[in-house]
Structure 1
């Protein structure tokens, strides 16, 4: 045991690294649109690529596999309870749009709808699915992104991996110190 540290269980390490905000993923097959809650997602480099985990156990998996399209929608704190509830039921059994009173909006590039109640929506197509078989990891290409300008400062919500959540906290502006990455600090 090194110093003040105690061993941490390997099956909980993900809780230290919970990657990105909790999101809603909208997919659509030939019959209908579906929503799922997703907490395992991340940007890929500084390009317009994202990655997320969707496994065969998810009803949305088949639609994503067959169509290669989805929308990633970012809910804020006000939609958190609904977002969690969406993750507790299967789209195979429930029309989640209807059950949770969410409003689908037409996307511009992909078939799955945007989620009106979310502060941002990102239309995506599958860029690379080579890691799906081994890791359930999809690399997505962002085709179009939308944000509600009145909610642009909405706080993303992060799952802590154990049923607890946090929102983005105080914003600390250190753009002037990021000399090597200055291009990333400009709007």
Structure 2
């Protein structure tokens, strides 16, 4: 996988794709599907995500303070839904769904080889967890799988249907105020 600067995390998440979150607690990796996330700021790159006590990953994230946000593509759509419909408490999801864990560099949670990108994160703020189940994560490292042919991501519409990315509208020449972000 090719590494990107963490300052580019917003480019991967701002469109709001459905993502996987991996955690590892006591040597046991887990994957969950997540749709409730947002970029909070560019520098340092902060990501807000909703992971509640109803999710098996919640206790691992609270205990370890780290995770990986992995971005699947449309060819993984059925796995995205199926992973979201079972609990890591009862299922070893990497094995069941045929996904390949790869070691991260800065966190114990694994990367997912089949995903287009993986963002290594650490919890930086838990003040909103008790009331809103919102963790604030700081991105520390991004790995992009340049070999992936499929690049379209999924966006959940809230009812079990998804929108798939397609055409790109290039308006970079008009982004005069934010030109420094086009590196």
TM bucket by the smaller chain? 0.7 to 0.9
Residue by residue, what CA displacement relative to the aligned partner does 1:74-132 show, whole Å, maximum 9, x if unpaired? 00000111111000000011111111111100000000100011010000000111001
Partner of 1:24: 20
8 Å contact from structure 1 (residues 33, 113) kept in 2: yes
Task: Quote the offset at 1:51 in angstroms.
Answer: 1.3
Structure with more contact order per residue of length (Cα contacts < 8 Å, sep ≥ 6): 2
Instruction: Tell me if 1:183 matches 2:174.
Output: no
* Number of residue-to-residue matches in the alignment: 168
Structure 1 unaligned regions, length at least 5: 1-18
Instruction: Tell me if 1:34 matches 2:55.
Output: no
Partner of 1:69: 66
8 Å contact from structure 2 (residues 119, 141) kept in 1: yes
8 Å contact from structure 1 (residues 119, 152) kept in 2: no
Q: Distance in 1 between matches of 2:96 and 2:149?
A: 27
Q: List 4+ stretches of structure 1 deviating above 6 A.
A: none
Partner of 1:127: 124
Structure 2 unaligned regions, length at least 5: 1-14
Q: Distance in 1 between matches of 2:27 and 2:171?
A: 48
Q: Distance in 1 between matches of 2:152 and 2:55?
A: 27
Partner of 1:49: 46
8 Å contact from structure 1 (residues 22, 159) kept in 2: yes
8 Å contact from structure 1 (residues 40, 52) kept in 2: yes
Partner of 2:115: 118
Q: Distance in 2 between matches of 1:152 and 1:179?
A: 32
Q: Identify, as 1 or 2, the structure richer in strand.
A: 2
Residue by residue, what CA displacement relative to the aligned partner does 1:137-170 show, whole Å, maximum 9, x if unpaired? 1110111110012338712211011111011231
RMSD across aligned positions (CA): 1.4
Q: Distance in 2 between matches of 1:168 and 1:142?
A: 23
1:5-20 mapped onto 2 (5 Å cutoff)? 20=16
Of 167, 172, 187, the match for 2:169: 172
Residue by residue, what CA displacement relative to the aligned partner does 1:47-96 show, whole Å, maximum 9, x if unpaired? 31111100000000000000001000000000111111000000011111
8 Å contact from structure 2 (residues 113, 145) kept in 1: no
1:117-156 mapped onto 2 (5 Å cutoff)? 117-151=114-148, 154-156=151-153
Tell me which structure has the larger Cα radius of gyration. Answer: 1
